[in-house]
Amino acid sequence: MGLDNFTRCIYGWKVEGHKNVKKFKDKLEKVNKNYYNDYCNFLVTDTMCGEYIFFGAHLVYYDADEGGEVIVDDKLIKQVTNKYKNFLKEHPELDKFLTEQIGKLTTSKDPQLYIFQQIW
C-alpha cells in the first residue's frame, strides 16, 4: 500500500490541533451529518491524525506523484472564489456555521493562502 500525495493551495482558514479539529468536526456534524462528502470540495481534513482541517476556496489540487503545475492567476482566483461563495449562498447553514467559527477555532480571522502537501 502506497501513500497518496497531493499538492493543495487553499485560500481560506485553518483549524489546527487535535482538540480544536474535533470540536470543529463535532459542531459541523450537527449542521450536516454527511459533511465529509457534501462539503468535500471546500474542506481538507487530516484523515490520519486529525491535526488540521482547512476550509475555503481550493485554487490548486493535484496528485504530486504525477507532477504538474497550475498557473494561479486572477482568472483562476476569481472563478474558484466565486464557486466557493456561491456554494455558501446555496448552503446558508454552512455559511453561518463557518462564519461563527472564524476567529474562535481558526488560526486567523482573515483568510490566508495555504500551500501544502497532503500525504496520507
Fold classification of 5-119 (topology level): Alpha-Beta Plaits (3.30.70)
Q: Indicate the residue type of 72.
A: V
Give me the residues of the chain with pLDDT under 50, please.
Answer: none
Give the per-residue pLDDT at 96.
96
Give the per-residue pLDDT at 1.
54
Beta-carbon count within 10 A of 74 CB: 7
| 8 A C-beta contact, residue 111 and residue 81 | no
Give the C-alpha distances (Å, rounded to integers) separating 95 from 17, 41, 77, 120: 22, 14, 20, 28
The reply to whether the predicted model has a pTM over 0.75 is: yes
| 8 A C-beta contact, residue 15 and residue 21 | yes
Residue 53 to residue 15: CA distance in whole angstroms: 5
